[in-house]
Amino acid sequence: MSLTDREKQDALRYAVNGATFYFVPSVELSNMIVQGGPGTEEINDTLRPFLIQREAIKIEVDLVIRYCQNTLDSKNIWLLNHGDIKVIPQQITIN
C-alpha cells in the first residue's frame, strides 16, 4: 500500500532522526508470487521466501528516503507499493 504524501513526510522526518524501517509484504503480494503473477518474475530468489511468508524485512533508510522523494527505481517502488512500510523510531535508553 503506497504511502500518502503526509505519511511520506513523516517517514522522511523519522529517517533523518535515525529510525529503523521494515517492509511487511501484503497478502496480495504473497499470493501474486505464489501464483507467478505479473511483476513477480524480477523478484530476487533470496527474497521470495520472506515475501511469501509475509515476514517483516528490515530496509535501509536510504531506500525509504528515495521512495518518499519519488527517486527510487520503478521495480522497488512496485514492491514497496505491495506492502506496508513500518517505522520504529530511534530508541532512547535510560540508565
**How many domains does one find in the chain?**
1
Q: What is the pTM of this model?
A: 0.84
- The answer to the question of residue 31 being in a domain is yes
**DSSP secondary structure string, 17-32?**
TT-EEEEEE-HHHHHH
- Residue 95 domain-assigned? no
Please check whether residue 46 lies inside any domain of the structure: yes
The whole-number pLDDT of residue 29 equals 96
50 in any annotated domain: yes
Residue 57: is its pLDDT beyond 90? yes
Within a domain: 94: no
C-alpha span between 17 and 89 (Å, rounded):
8
Print the domain residue range for 70. Answer: 5-88
Helices (H), 1-95: 5-16, 27-35, 48-52, 61-68, 74-80
Q: Has residue 71 been placed in a domain?
A: yes
